[in-house]
Structure 1
Amino acid sequence: MRHLLLTAVLACAPLSLLADPLPSWNDTESKDRIIDFVDAVTDPERPEYVTPAERIAVFDNDGTLWAEQPVYFQLFFAMDRLAELAADDPSILTSPTLQAAAEGDLNTVLQGGHDALIEVVNASHSGVSVDEFQDAVAEWLETARHPETDMPYDQMTYQPMVELLRYLRDEGFKTYIVSGGGLHFMRVFAEEAYGIPPEQVLGTYTGTAYDSDDGSPVITKTPDIAFVDDKEGKPINIERTIGRRPILAGGNSDGDFAMMEWTTAGDGPRLGVLVHHTDAEREWAYDRESPIGKLVDGLDKGPEMGWVIVDMAQDWSRIYTGAN
């Protein structure tokens, strides 16, 4: 009888009582607040209870789920892809910016600002089918290495955030990526890296065109940006695509501020989780002055909005899913 009673108790107990749901998080206030929130919204006996259908959690990718320094990883892909294409057809290098990108001259590309980045992305991401493009991304992820860590890019995902995603899904949440990164780029690795299927990935996307003239339908990427999923674009895309206001949002920069503000301004229990890059030894330390992942509004306004400000150096015992 005692064994049956214990079994029944354990079966009804919250996950956090059975095992540590976030083992790579140190026992700090950040971890406690996240677990307290999840316990509250998943317990039918609590006034904060939220039905499973409404348990929507959205996360930025660059700097939130994987690293983003010294530049967004998709730019490294774009430059490598451009060099590969130019080896077959040098005539595609129609400007000094494209020439520099193909030669791996990151500084020159960055000095060109937003227009230079768009030029490199357009030249490297368009004129092929979505399937061909995603095959190229998958091949790149298999072979490319980060210039500073020498790690595969998809091993530079953050182990604590992967655990958080898994924990939320175990507790009945539906998890989404909502990122300024490319939609077709992220869909290649999101399911294996994070357990998030392609249909739950929202991102910036180029134009596309459908063609079936030869009886073999194909969707081709065209050289224009159709939608930028950043800043105010994030809550707009969430409303348009998901159709529910999330109850939890995670980000790391001012590009995520609108998404997190909109999420936590809704009725009922809400939580914002802001990743602050404070660990110069195991990763990078940056915030207010950084050209990549600049963080000002979140630090200044997040605490008064009740957000959890994650201090990577203090709150995480491990950084990457790959070797630390």
Structure 2
Amino acid sequence: MRLAAILRHCTLAISIVLAASVSALAQSDPLSSWNDSANKTAITDFVKRVTADGSADFIAPADRIAVFDNDGTLWAEKPVPFQLFFALDEIKRLAPQYPEWQTTEPYKSVLAGDQKGVEASGMKGIGEIMAATHTGMTTEAFSARVADWFATAKHPIRQKPYSELVYQPQLELLSYLRANGFRTFIVSGGGVEFMRVFAEKIYGIPPEQVIGSSGVVKYEVGSDGKPFLFKEPKVEFIDDGAGKPVGINRFIGRRPVIAVGNSDGDRQMLEYTAAGDGPRLAVYIHHDDAEREYAYDRGDKLAALDKGLDEAVAKGWILVSMKDDWKQIFPGAN
């Protein structure tokens, strides 16, 4: 064989070996969408310490509880939480059944696409929108509505399905934790029955591991003799702020060892987690990437984070910069 041919064969062999090595290295990194930063190392070191047999920081599998906020922590939340987009779309879908909505606020503004008008209606108006779209039906009917919407709806600004606006680094973190014996829970201010429709499909978190705000549900029996649960227009539990530790106690019964959030509404959940005995990990996501996602900070009207951001710095919580710590934000996008 000529020298040139031998060199070509050697070069090809080296390329194949290098490519295989790079591929194997990528596969061996469970957090491949995270930059190799101090924060990534802190997370993986913590997991290794608490799961290694014989480690002084070993945590028994039964106690490996990790809780995550949803809006702004597992998927985007701008310009408004996605559950509100669902409610607004439902008002438009239901409008033919309620002609009086054409002249009645806040429905009039919703139907006209007048965002300022909706905002001007305040919490009272938002409450009326939520009641009109989330109550007065069986739990099965509501779940079917959410599933239909989730299968077809697109974010009005990004024009992508909502399932594509989840955070790829967080999907990897959830999988990494579960691979190391953690049970992962959603603990969110969003509606529990809304999130349970899609949480298992996009996050791998089953319905029984989703904690959220809830309305009153009443047991009834239909004329056909079949029992059902009916959603009434009454608030039962708000799973936000101080309500999050209460919800964790009520529905999990164990103090988490890992908590991940992104706003003041998550602050008490992170405090409660960090205050437990033994090794604990509190992670605070900072939205500082205007180019790839959104940048919002102190004073944001919908996602206040003044106190939480200060506390994250003061108490040494892991403060994740979306701009610096994440190679990519959304699946399939840099």
The CA RMSD over aligned residues, in Å, is 1.7
Maintained 8 Å contact 1:80/1:104: no
1:146-205 C-alpha deviation (Å, 9 max, x unpaired): 121111111100000010000000000000000000111000110011000000000011
Aligned residues between the structures: 309
Q: Deviations over 1:73-117 (max 9, x none)?
A: 111100110111122332466831122223332221122222221
Query: Partners of 1:107 and 1:29 in 2: how far apart?
Result: 42
Cα pair 2:222 2:228 within 8 Å, conserved? no
- Is 1:97 the counterpart of 2:106? The answer is yes
Contact persistence 2:216–2:232 (CA under 8 A): yes
TM-score (norm 2): 0.89
Q: Partner letter of residue 264 of structure 2?
A: D
Q: Aligned residue for 1:6?
A: none
Tell me, in whole angstroms, the C-alpha distance in 2 between the residues paired with 1:193 and 1:128.
26
Q: Please give the residue correspondences for 1:88-127 in structure 2 after superposition, counting only pairs within 5 Å.
A: 88-91=97-100, 95-127=104-136
Q: Tell me the distance in 2 between the aligned counterparts of 1:254 and 1:66.
A: 17
- State which of 282, 295, 306 in structure 1 corresponds to 2:316: 306
In the alignment, structure 2 segments of 5+ residues that lack a partner are 1-24
Structure number with larger C-alpha Rg: 2
Residues 184/104 of structure 1: CA separation in 2 closer, same or farther (3 Å cut): farther
User: What residue is the counterpart of 2:73 in the other structure?
Assistant: 64
Q: What are the equivalent positions in structure 2 for 1:246-257 lying under 5 Å apart?
A: 246-257=256-267
The whole-number CA distance in structure 1 between the counterparts of 2:60 and 2:113 is: 50
Cα 1:150–1:213 shift into 2, 3 Å: closer
Of the three residues 53, 56, 60, the one matched with 1:51 is 60
Q: Which residue of 1 aligns with 2:86?
A: 77
1:31 aligns with 2:37: no
Aligned to 1:272: 282
Alignment of 1:158-173 (within 5 A): 158-173=167-182
Output the TM-score relative to the length of structure 1.
0.92
Matched, 1:137 2:165: no
Question: For residues 293 and 243 of structure 1, what CA distance do their matches in structure 2 show?
Answer: 28
Question: 1:44 corresponds to which letter in structure 2?
Answer: D
Residues 277, 285 of structure 1: 8 Å contact kept: yes
SS of 1:302's equivalent? helix
The letter for the 2-side match of 1:143 is: T
Instruction: Give the secondary structure class of the aligned counterpart of 2:272.
Output: helix
Q: Answer with 67-76 or 207-216: which moved more.
A: 207-216
Give me the whole-angstrom Cα distance separating, in 2, the residues matched to 1:237 and 1:42: 26
For 2:4, the equivalent position in structure 1 comes to: none
Q: Is the 8 A contact 2:105 2:121 kept in 1?
A: no
Q: Aligned residue for 1:237?
A: 247
Instruction: Return the letter of the residue paired with 2:238.
Output: V
Matched to 2:157, the amino acid is E
Report the secondary structure of 1:179's partner residue: strand
The worse-fitting range, judged by mean Cα deviation, of 290-299 and 312-321 is 290-299
In structure 2, the partner of 1:7 is none
- 1:241 & 1:48 partners in 2: Cα distance? 26
1:12 aligned residue:
none
Structure 2 Cα separation of the partners of residues 322 and 128 of structure 1? 37
Greater displacement, 125-134 / 49-58:
125-134
Asked whether the 8 Å contact 2:189–2:239 carries over to 1, the reply is yes
Query: Could you list the runs of 5+ residues in structure 1 that have no partner in the other structure?
Result: 1-15
| 1:274–1:309 Cα contact (<8 Å) kept | yes
| 1:190 corresponds to | 199
3-state SS in 1 of match to 2:106: helix
Asked if structure 1 preserves the Cα contact closer than 8 Å seen for 2:105 and 2:125, the reply is no
SS of match in other structure, 1:204: strand
- Whether the aligned pair in 1 keeps the contact of 2:215 and 2:235 (CA below 8 Å) is yes
Task: Report % sequence identity.
Answer: 50
Tell which deviates more after alignment, 153-162 or 97-106: 97-106
Aligned to 1:278, the other structure's residue is in SS state coil
Q: CA shift at 1:19, angstroms?
A: 1.3
Deviations 1:274-305 (A, max 9, x none): 10000000000001121122211122111232
Paired letter, 1:189 = F
Q: Following the alignment from structure 1 to structure 2, what is the Cα–Cα distance between the partners of residues 321 and 26?
A: 15
- 1:49 CA drift (Å): 0.5
Secondary structure of the 1:96 match is: coil
Q: Greater shift after overlay, 304-313 or 190-199?
A: 304-313
